[in-house]
Each structure stands twice: as structure tokens, then as C-alpha cells.
Structure 1
Amino acid sequence: MNDTVTLLTRRADLAPASANRDDRSVEVIWSTGAPVRRRDMAGPYVERLSLNPQAVDLSRLQGASVLDAHRQFAVRDVLGSVQSAAVDGQRGTALIRFSARPEVEPLWQDVLSGILRHVSVGYSVEEWAETTDNGARVLTAVRWTPHEISLVPTPADPGAHIRMETHMTDTTITPAPPEAQTRAAINTEIRSIARIAGLDQSWIDGQ
């Protein structure tokens, strides 16, 4: 039996209009269950997340760390913590609080100004339900666990866009044609996946 947990990620946008400057907190919507295109050994598929409260185990997310781009190698990678989290059948929300450490202050100021506005949720899936939709394979996570929320840079995919509103929406990423992708963007994505998988840092730095 394989005990390895595969950690997946989804990206969304911060909502600086909801920020509380006094307690250094900001609200996020980390999922709306929007479909995302992925690929596995069987080929391409559409991933969906059930936001039925019974489908989502929030026990790991309550009080979890807010990380810098999913890095978890040192204390400095922790930017804050998740104060509360909930799902209501249509979206997953959280209140995150940023640390008052001096090195985190520039990031907090960038959040307030709207310069940093992307978050990514890391999660594992314990049970899938497979269906088809107009001939396309669809995998719906019907039992899954969010583990952490990260502040991340602009997604490598040039087609991903930012919506500056008082709430966040999932970014559904459609892969660009290979010829339209830059090597730097591809390397950025490889390094992100490698960190999530826990690969050696020296290997990651070489990508």
C-alpha cells in the first residue's frame, strides 16, 4: 500500500479590500470548485472539487500555516496562519493573518497595495468520482483535505488573469501551446511542483 500523499494546488486571488490593518488579516476565497484541466497516466481530464461540507476535511486547514509559495523548509517560509476556514457548498473561504516579523512586513504592504494578490491552496484527495461530460473524462474530488494556503507570484501560464474585486475566484488555467511557453515559465512550474513533492533543494535549484 502506498502511503505517499500527493499534494495538489489551485490558485486564486487575494482580496485587499477585505484587509484589516490592525490585526494584519485578510479574507480569501481559496476555491469555488471551478473545473481545472489536468493530465494523468490515462490522459487529460477535468478536475472538479466538491464543496459539499461533508466532502471537505478542514481539520488540517484550521490553524495551518500561510506559506511562501508552498515552501516549508524553514521557519522563514511561514508568513502567517489561517485563523478560520469554511465551505458553504459553493466556495471555500478563509481568514488569514500575517506575521508581524520585520521580513514579512514588505509582503504585507504589497498585499495591502494590491501588488501581491495571488494565493494557492495545497490539498490532497482521498476519494475521486469519475464521470464523463460530453465525452471528456471528469474526476470530482468527493473526499479531500486542504493542507495550507500560500502566497504565490503570478502563475507561469500567460493565460491566467487577475480579477481585482472584493473577493477572489479560482483561476482556471488552460495550458498554452508548447511554442507559446517560455523556458523560464516551464522551469518555474517544475520548481513549484518539485517543492510540493519534497524533492532535494539542490535538484530544484538546478532547474
Structure 2
Amino acid sequence: MKKIKKFSLLTASVLMAGSLFSTPVFAETTGTTGGGSASTTATADIKGGSLTLNGSLSPISLSQTLNGSQISTDAQSLGSVEIIDARGTGAGYSLTASATALSGTHGNVVLTPGSVAKKDTTSDATPTLVSGAQTLTTNPTQILTAGKSSVSEGKGSYTVDLGSLQITDIPANAYAGSYSTTVTVTLNAAPTGQE
């Protein structure tokens, strides 16, 4: 019985000694190296600007010689203006023209609109010009509109050739002399009137 005990102790000692000097075994780790991602939200606060009309009208000197019949003067360019709609609303606008009554004679002040073109190529579609000759009076007459038929029209910058101005229907009985009218072009902050 003693021998068995010794053997048991010896076995236990050998087992303990084996565990003290054994090589450690580690678990293998697997996985990817690198990679990953990060993201953020960038917010741009774009503020609306203003609606502006830049430029000035050309001085106009019209002439004609009386001949015993109703006559019209020659036509001259009214000049060009720049429209900038930087409001960023798509609210649209209109350009109107008016003229005071001719001093000292009868006759009509007639404007034939020219053309409109984008100043910046990233602007919306060009505003719509009224076609044909327009008789100007003290009541403003619309010559251009933007945003009335489409909100994708008129935002950005444009050059507007206002076209030509002349005096028509001067009667045969008009007196020779100098006659004048004041022509005013106004940019309105909403689309109105005819197209």
C-alpha cells in the first residue's frame, strides 16, 4: 500500500513538473488589416441675394422731315441692361417700359424689343421677351417676363437688348420743332401682364 502511494505522488509530481515546463499554446487570431470608414454631413447655407437692374439707357436723337403726310422717325437703339436675379426663390420678375406723352405734338412712342441672352451660362432658361412693336404710354407696358410660365426661367444673370425706339404716326399737320418724351424701364419683383 505504501508503494502505491509513492507512485501516486510521483505521478502527480511528474504531471506538475510537466505543466511547469510545457510550451504555452496560443489561440490563432484571424481578421483583416486596415480598412474602415468615417463620414460626416457637410451643410452649405446659401443665402439669397437681390434682384437688380444694371446699366443705363442710351441717349436718343430721332429725326425726320415733314412731307405733307403722316410720318415716322428713324429707329434708334435704346441700349441694353443687365438683369441679375440672385434671390434664389424662383419668384420671377417682369421688365416694363413707359413713356411720357410727346411734348408739343401727336405721335406714338414705339419700342420694338431686341433680344435676351444669358450672361452666365449656368443661369436658368432666358426670360421671355414680348414679341412685336409695343406702343409706350404712361402706363407701364411689359416687355419681358420671367417665371410666369416656368419656375426654371430667369434665375441668374442676363443681358437684355432693349431694342429700338421710334416715334410713329406724326401727323401731316405737325409743326416743325423739337419734341421730347422720357422713357423709363423698370424691373418689377414679380411676373405680371401679357407674354
Q: Shared fold by TM > 0.5?
A: no
Report which of the two has the higher share of helix: 1
Structure having the higher Rg: 2
TM-score normalised over the length of structure 1:
0.27
TM-score normalised over the length of structure 2: 0.28
Please identify which structure carries the higher strand content.
Answer: 1
